[in-house]
Amino acid sequence: MDITATTEWTALHRHARDQQAAGVDLAGLFDADPDRAGHCTSTVGDLVVDWSRHLVNDGTVELLLALADRAGVSERIAAMLSGEPVNVTEGRPVLHTALRAPAGEAVVVGGVDVAPAIAAERDRTGAFVRALLAGERRGATGLPIRTVVNLGIGGSQLGPAMAHQALAAFRSGGVECRFVSNIDPAALASGLDGLDPAETLFIVVSKGFATAETLANARAARAWAASVLGSEAASRHFVAVTANRDAAIEFGIEPDDVFATWDWVGGRFSMGSAAGLAVMAAIGEENFAAMLAGMRAVDEHVAAGPAASVPMLLGLLSVWYRNFWGFQMRAVVPYSERLRLFPVWLQQVIMESNGKRVRLDGSPVGCETAEVVWGGVGTDSQHSFHQLLHQGTTAVPTDFIVMARPDADVAGAAGAAERHEALVANCFAQAAALAFGSPAAEDDSHRELPGNRPSTVILAAELTPPVLGQLVALYEHQTVVQGAVWGINSFDQFGVELGKTLADAILDDLRAGAAEAGTSHDPSTRSLIAHYRRLREL
Ligand code: F6P
């Protein structure tokens, strides 16, 4: 269905035009409804979501919900949750929610209940982590493992690295975890810096086990380990998480050390799977389970009534701005040092999922799709890009995330409570300044902040494993809502394939060292290759 051809779409266009012509402004919306903040604050799990500073009234929300209804968003979510092959271009179900479903709940994929396989893998990863932390799983020379290095990229790194940092307060200290993703040799070099191969374990996380960056790093890491331990012993220092078991075994990893993920778990949605093994090693099984329970709380909230859910509302707000206001971006600013990687994780979730230009049937989508997502951590971002948020010529709807209490491990530090309070005050102040601005002082337009710039504030008591899980699922579900409105496939990523193929062809040429760059390349690439060769020799 072409959603842009529906009466619901037209009604929203008309509504947006009317609102814009009438000069809708946030101050006016609050004046009109003294309890707007109360009306426009929702809760999901432990999260308080204040969406009162959005350019919407009751009528807008009704029209957006009507649009979602027309697009069949609830039905699409239900189809996803029940294991239908909603990833139509790859003929796969999309069941990351099954990873956090209560034990014993059947999850049927192609007529087979995969819940026992999920439970078995959870048991295996749990046992592995217990053995690691107890010093029972040792290196080849008999020394205990002190450092775990996650080798993976994209969804096989972003979520786990984000969670590892977010939950620093919950690390047991049993093992140190590092993450290496980039094929740039500097990445592995710093990942290995100061490590002893005899006390290091590598987790190669790759759903397909064919990703060039990950395999190159895994080979280099193995050579590094083998140079000290010998090649046979080095393989004891590698485990894998993959849906391509045979390739991992062929790489030299013991069959018992291969943990499963499945083709029905998208990489960017996979942090609740064994792909989170490094996180589990860092925070322990119980905290990992608590994070999954947090995700589950939001899954259940959505499953209970997608149309009335908070992710539905937030997803529709992004559609409102993207399609009816023409805003191109969304900023995400956690006021939490430990959530520094959250915007980077979210970039893949939203932009790889919904950066699409055709609908499910292959026809052009006919409207804008995913917004550009970027951000940084507050308060640092205030001293960097907030100037543009406040006075730039483009409005950037902004999500603020902040906790009421400091992270447990720093709460006792001298003055931590006061500094955390200042952090919170800054967060609230930014949302207020964006919304209400400030008038020109003595007609000095340089000092005027126009205000009327929308934001969401997400508040929770403390950054715990369940709260992190809830945040993750809140954004995952919003992404699914967006994609369902636009009628696109949020679960494939064919756009990244061409670059990989071209890189392979260019690399072949660079390695062959031919005097002339291969004629198969375009003229611009040939010219770059020539410059590269000259510079390399300088
Ligand atoms: O190149 C994109 C991508 O396929 C992502 O979707 C994925 O998260 C990443 O590469 C890593 O893939 P894999 O886990 O198979 O190594």
Full DSSP string of 458-476: EEES---HHHHHHHHHHHH
In this structure, the number of other CB atoms found within 10 A of the CB of residue 466 comes to: 21
Q: Say which DSSP state 99 is in.
A: G
- What is the CA(74)–ligand 1 centre distance, in A? 28
Q: How far is residue 124's CA from residue 131's CA, in Å, rounded to a whole number?
A: 11
- The two three-digit tokens of residue 306, written as one number: 């997608």
- The two three-digit tokens of residue 220, written as one number: 């280099």
- The two three-digit tokens of residue 523, written as one number: 């003229």
The stretch 434-457 carries a mean pLDDT of: 90
Q: Whose CA is nearest to atom 1 of ligand 1?
A: 496
Least confidently predicted of 90-104, 244-258, 283-297, 395-409? 90-104
Query: What end-to-end distance do the CA atoms of the chain give, in Å?
Result: 58
pLDDT tens profile 106-147: 888 888 899 999 999 999 999 999 999 999 999 999 999 999
From the CA of 268, give the closest atom in ligand 1.
Answer: 8
Peptide bond into 214 cis (omega under 30): no
- What is the CA(151)–ligand 1 centre distance, in A? 12
- What is the CA(211)–ligand 1 centre distance, in A? 7
Q: What is the pLDDT of residue 517?
A: 61
- The two three-digit tokens of residue 536, written as one number: 């390399």
The answer for 273, left when phi > 0, alpha when psi is -120 to 50, beta otherwise, is beta
Q: How far is residue 431's CA from residue 452's CA, in Å, rounded to a whole number?
A: 10
Tokens 């707000």 belong to residue:
317
> Which neighbouring-strand residues pair with 41?
50
Q: Whose CA is nearest to atom 5 of ligand 1?
A: 154
Q: Whose CA is nearest to atom 10 of ligand 1?
A: 154
Cα dihedral 93, 268, 355, 391 in deg (nearest 10): 140
- What is the CA(513)–ligand 1 centre distance, in A? 29
From the CA of 243, give the closest atom in ligand 1.
Answer: 15
pLDDT tens profile 15-29: 999 999 999 999 999
- What is the CA(267)–ligand 1 centre distance, in A? 6
- What is the CA(217)–ligand 1 centre distance, in A? 15
Residues labelled catalytic? 352, 383, 500
Residue 54 has pLDDT above 90, yes or no: yes
State how beta strands 47-50 and 41-44 pair. Answer: antiparallel
Helix spans in 193-327 (H):
212-229, 231-234, 245-251, 277-304, 310-319
From the CA of 153, give the closest atom in ligand 1.
Answer: 11
Which of 496, 497, 502 best tests ligand 1's pocket when mutated (most atoms within 8 Å of CB)? Answer: 496
Q: In a 3-state reduction of DSSP, which class is residue 238?
A: strand
Q: Whose CA is nearest to atom 8 of ligand 1?
A: 155
From the CA of 208, give the closest atom in ligand 1.
Answer: 15
Q: What is the pLDDT of residue 274?
A: 98
The stretch 220-224 carries a mean pLDDT of: 98
What helix, strand, coil percent values describe the chain, rounded to 5? 55, 15, 30
Confidence of residue 313 (pLDDT cuts 50, 70, 90): very high
- H or E stretch including 330? strand 329-335
- What is the CA(348)–ligand 1 centre distance, in A? 10
Q: Where in the chain is the domain with CATH 3.40.50.10490?
A: 3-71+309-439+450-492, 107-288
- H or E stretch including 403? strand 398-403
Which of 94, 182, 207, 273 best tests ligand 1's pocket when mutated (most atoms within 8 Å of CB)? Answer: 207
In this structure, the residues whose C-beta lies within 6 A of any atom of ligand 1 are 153-156, 206-208, 211, 214, 267-268, 352, 493, 496
Q: Which amino acid is at 376?
A: G
Q: How far is residue 119's CA from residue 102's CA, in Å, rounded to a whole number?
A: 10
In this structure, the number of other CB atoms found within 10 A of the CB of residue 266 comes to: 24
Residue 84 burial (C-beta neighbours within 10 Å; 0-12, 13-18, 19+): middle
Residue 424 burial (C-beta neighbours within 10 Å; 0-12, 13-18, 19+): middle
The stretch 190-218 carries a mean pLDDT of: 98
CATH fold of 3-71+309-439+450-492 reads Rossmann fold (3.40.50)
**Residues 521 and 505 sit within 8 Å (Cβ to Cβ):** yes
State the average pLDDT for the chain.
96
- Our separate counts of H helices and E strands in the chain read 20, 13
From the CA of 496, give the closest atom in ligand 1.
Answer: 1
Which of 203, 205, 493, 502 best tests ligand 1's pocket when mutated (most atoms within 8 Å of CB)? Answer: 493
pLDDT tens profile 478-530: 999 999 999 999 999 999 999 999 999 999 988 887 656 666 899 999 999 99
- What is the CA(260)–ligand 1 centre distance, in A? 15
The stretch 256-282 carries a mean pLDDT of: 97
Q: Name, of 98-112, 257-271, 441-455, the range with top average pLDDT.
A: 257-271
Q: Whose CA is nearest to atom 16 of ligand 1?
A: 206
107-288: CATH homologous superfamily? Glucose-6-phosphate isomerase like protein; domain 1 (3.40.50.10490)
- The two three-digit tokens of residue 130, written as one number: 């217990």
From the CA of 267, give the closest atom in ligand 1.
Answer: 8
pLDDT tens profile 287-307: 999 999 999 999 999 999 999
The stretch 470-474 carries a mean pLDDT of: 98
Q: Whose CA is nearest to atom 13 of ligand 1?
A: 206
State how beta strands 176-180 and 147-151 pair. Answer: parallel
Residue 262 burial (C-beta neighbours within 10 Å; 0-12, 13-18, 19+): buried
